[in-house]
Amino acid sequence: MIRKILLFVYIVLMLLLVLLPLNDTELFFLTNTYVIKIRLDYIGHILLFLPFLFLVKQAYAMPFLLTLLAGLVFAGMCEGIQYLLPYRSFNINDLLANIVGTILGIVVVVGWNFLRQKTSTLAKASVNRKGER
């Protein structure tokens, strides 16, 4: 249940970021800051979308491809909503950064599953060795 609540909170916070008028504020320095010739706001998009698939996979037992599709739809939807809002702007680079974050989220999910299986296998082997003594 806590996993579903975390996913819900994440989605609500993401939608707030999408809906709030952040384009014209002077405090929003991300579009003028670069890291290795990449705008900091693109890195922010990647980092914001990174946990989505992980949270979905933890909250629901969905097939992998359906989870990926949900992530890509969510990434596109977030940028698409901004296209419809007069005080926000659609940016194809933001959409690409959202997609990159979603795809990197796949790496997190696969890595997490690999580590869980490896840990489980090592724990079972340890229990078996103790039982043999």
Instruction: Give the per-residue pLDDT at 57.
Output: 87
Give the rounded percent of residues in the chain with a pLDDT score beyond 70. 81
How far is the C-alpha of 116 from the C-alpha of 75, rounded, in Å?
A: 27
Instruction: Give the per-residue pLDDT at 109.
Output: 84
Q: What is the mean pLDDT of residues 63-91?
A: 90
Q: What is the mean pLDDT of residues 73-86?
A: 92
pLDDT at 27 over 50: no
Residue 127: band (very low, low, confident or very high) from pLDDT cuts 50, 70, 90: low
pLDDT at 43 over 60: yes
Cα distances (angstroms) measured from residue 132 to each of 3, 119, 124, 125, 129? 38, 20, 12, 11, 5
Domains identified in the chain, total number: 1
pLDDT at 49 over 80: yes
Instruction: Give the per-residue pLDDT at 51.
Output: 92
Give the pTM: 0.75
Q: What is the mean pLDDT of residues 6-22?
A: 90
Range of the domain at 123: 2-132
